[in-house]
Amino acid sequence: MTDALHIDVPHTDGTLAVIALSGEFDIAAAPTVRARALELITNGHPHLVADLAGVTFCDSSGLGALVGIWRCAKDADGSLTLAAIPDRLSRLLSVTGMDTFLAAFPSADAALAARQGNRTTA
């Protein structure tokens, strides 16, 4: 039995939104995650924090969705920041080189604090 992915948006503030994922981020879930993230970007939240603390599995479709979201955020002058990356997913990001262009923080709170710090100094 699969651990269906759940998507929550626990925080929005101006151009920033947190999208929290829990469950399996796979080929079945990737289009839904991408669509929800693009909806947030289109609705004025181009700076996304993806809270991955609850992700139990991520395949290449999930990685591809993250790249697609990152590109769409960049096109909207935004960003994608990853938070609370599970160990297995962290290794996949390192092996694929994605860790070189996606900012990462140990928690969503740390990512939000960093983002808000950037906002006050920008």
pLDDT (0 to 100) of residue 115: 82
pLDDT (0 to 100) of residue 1: 57
Contacts of 108 (CB under 8 A, 6+ apart): 10, 11, 18, 20, 49, 51, 53, 83, 84
Over residues 5-60, the pLDDT tens digits come to 999 999 999 999 999 999 999 999 999 999 999 999 999 999 999 999 999 999 99
Mean pLDDT score of the chain: 92
